[in-house]
Chains A and B, each alone.
Chain A
Amino acid sequence: MRPRREGPAPDPARVRAADIMSSPVALVSEGAPVREAAQIMNRRKISAVAVIDARGRATGLLAASDIVRFEPQHRCRVFGDRRGYQVDCLGDAPVRRVMTRGLLTVPPTETVGEIARKMVENGVHRVIVSQKGRVVGVVTALDLARCFVKGPCGERRPQRLKAAGRR
């Protein structure tokens, strides 16, 4: 396949988070079973969901890789007595036991270059875009890669900022 030339490469200092982020962000509560989060990821074809506490504040992320990291150490346990048995599998475990706490956030005005630098520095594949303490979007490494394909990055119409952190 011949490489297509698509004009000059976009400048990572010019395009901003709001131009390339996905919104709204899928949310799941800390107490929900991992299975539920897994189903959301499946359905929406995404590899992570933001986790919120009982008050609706974002407290971390649950990524596919978190679940995978947990999988090998987790055995389904069966316990009980004559009156009944209970089964504890990874799918039944609450999200809070598997999630990664803490969020790497950037403002909607953060440049793509800065986002890339922060991702690499922190060894994460996605950053949360937040505005006034609310989760408004997410930018993944794939979004950054994408942004160098479709002509100048950010040519895509900026999505309206939707507050997803609280409702």
Chain B
Amino acid sequence: MTSKGWETLRARDVMASPVRSVRITDSVREAADSMARHRVSGLAVLDRGGRAVGVVTASDIVAYQGARRPVVLGETQYDEMVSEAGRQLRRGFHLETAEDERVRDIMTPRVIAIAADAPLAEVARRMHEEGVHRTFVEENGRIVGIVTAFDIARCIGREAAVRAPAPRRAPRRRRKA
């Protein structure tokens, strides 16, 4: 595979598999936990039947963080705050918030998928058009993997490393289209 130019690669050659996923009813915190554990920035969202119904990304979780109401200790919310704080203090100082929110509330309910034999350029084009960093790979109607923009960078980088020792020798592409 190292010897292949990136333009001959297909989605299945570079995809990661299996796809990490969460259930639609999982909490935001469980999704964050899974992303952190697997070191990925996006997860497939599955319904009860195990079907992919969307995607949840690190950016979705951040959007949720950004939208969360700041806790103001001013006079207006003070009473409310104190009673809530008192309740939490009795329960052991914890105020769980990301536990209450569900993946379903923050996910993107859309599955962008590409055929396993699609050329890498096609995958890149799809990402560009949709403005997304990842697309699922499907085969026979099943999600079998995921390709991220980073995977494409990896192919370009690998190729650059292969070419680097003799960049001037046999330039394969001369003309600019």
A residues bordering B, Cβ < 8 Å? 1, 3-4, 6-13, 33-35, 38-39, 41-42, 45, 47, 63-65, 67-69, 71-72, 75-80, 84-87, 89-92, 111-114, 116-121, 125, 140-142, 144-146, 148-152
Which of A63, A142, A150 counts the most B-chain CB atoms under 10 A from its CB?
A: A142
Q: Is the CB of B133 within 8 A of A87?
A: no
The answer to whether B94 touches A113, judged by C-beta atoms less than 8 angstroms apart, is no
Whether A119 and B160, one on each chain, are in contact in the complex, defined by CB atoms closer than 8 angstroms, is no
> In the complex where A116-B154, A141-B153 touch, is A35 in contact with B160 (Cβ < 8 A)?
no
Alpha-carbon gap, A125 to B153, bound state (A): 9
Given contacts A92-B70, A116-B154, 20 further A-B contacts (CB under 8 A): A12-B159, A38-B63, A47-B59, A64-B59, A65-B35, A65-B58, A68-B61, A71-B32, A71-B61, A79-B93, A89-B71, A119-B157, A120-B150, A140-B149, A141-B133, A144-B156, A145-B128, A146-B124, A148-B6, A149-B128
Q: Can you list 27 A-B contacts with CB-CB less than 8 angstroms, sorted by A residue number?
A: A3-B118, A3-B121, A3-B122, A7-B177, A8-B177, A10-B173, A11-B171, A35-B65, A65-B35, A67-B58, A67-B61, A68-B32, A68-B61, A71-B33, A78-B95, A87-B73, A87-B85, A91-B66, A111-B160, A113-B164, A121-B157, A125-B153, A142-B127, A142-B149, A144-B153, A146-B124, A150-B128
Interface residues of B, dominant DSSP: helix
Contact with A along B55-75 (1 / 0, CB 8 A): 001110111011110110100
